[in-house]
Amino acid sequence: MMKMMLLGLTLGAMAYAASSVYDFTLSSIDGAATPLSSFKGKVVLLVNVASKCGFTPQYAGLEKLYEAYKDKGFVIVGVPANDFGAQEPGSNEEIKTFCNRNYNVTFPMMGKVSVKGANMTPLYQYLTGKSANPKTGGEIKWNFTKFLVDKKGNVINRFESAVTPQAAELVKAVEAALAL
């Protein structure tokens, strides 16, 4: 128990000591370590996703957005989480199958994590931390919250769940970040 508490403190401290999203590593949906630094030089949209949510159809829009801009240096990273209404109950394999079968998802998908609460993954501690990200920090309210990250790994914008992938404000922000 004490060891887990110390691990949690260490992970939390790492989140606050980070200088960009590039300081974090997640597991891919297939279990491979995926350092976010592998996306250096790209504009990244981090999205906490879920398969049984009213916003789940946004997967189709996310895939369209990814297809439209991936050759220009843009990547979407799907981060499954079961923190809201138990709307992502499946295993990583089930999530992957769901995404492929229903939405032909080709953008990178990570393994399931927690994006709020006591078990929040360090990346989301950083993304939601007001000291690290005063303009975009704050608790995740629901699935499909989107964080836009510039080519240097800095969080530059946040879009709540109701902002669709094709919303003018999101597309404009992606295009502006790609132009820098």
The catalytic site residues sit at 53
Buried b / exposed e over 18-31, threshold 16 CB at 10 Å, is bebbbbbebeebee
C-alpha closest to that of 114 among 34, 48, 161: 48
Q: Tokens standing for 167?
A: 């919303």
For 41, left (φ over 0), alpha (ψ -120 to 50), or beta? left
Can you tell me the distance from the alpha carbon of 151 to that of 37, in angstroms, rounded to the nearest whole number?
10
CA angle (135 as vertex; 134, 136 as ends), nearest 5: 100
Strand, helix or coil for residue 105: coil
